Every structure is written in C-alpha cells, then in structure tokens.
Amino acid sequence: MQLTDTGRKVYQEVRAAIDEFEREILRGISEEEQLEGIRLMSEIRNNLMQGEL
C-alpha cells in the first residue's frame, strides 16, 4: 500500500501537529521521567489484566 501525493501531504501535516502536541504536553518532563511513567502504566495495565477488574 502506498500513499498518494495528497495522502503524504496530509500525513506530514498531521505528524507535525502530533509532534507539537507531544512537545507541549511533555514540557518539563525529562526523558527518564517519561520512561518511568511508561513503565508504571505498563505495570498498572498488567495488574488490571490479571485481576480482570
């Protein structure tokens, strides 16, 4: 599957918007802190899956 020229343009615009959003919401949070947050969310997910709450 390949994107058309229009599809590539739309993808680039959406990707730029997502990148900017991520920069804004993660401002002031170090990469180490982000990785720790991901690790914690993974543990929470595992707990939920085991308990099937």
CB atoms within 10 A of CB 21: 10
Residue 24's Cβ-count burial label (10 Å; 0-12, 13-18, 19+) is: exposed
Whether 50 has a pLDDT exceeding 90, the answer reads: yes
| 12 Cβ contact list (under 8 Å, min separation 6) | none
pLDDT of residue 51: 80
The pLDDT-based confidence of 53 (bands split at 50, 70, 90) is low
| pLDDT tens, position by position, 11-38 | 999 999 999 999 999 999 999 999 999 9
The C-alpha atoms of residue 34 and residue 40 are separated, in whole angstroms, by 10
pLDDT of residue 8: 98
pTM above 0.75, yes or no: no
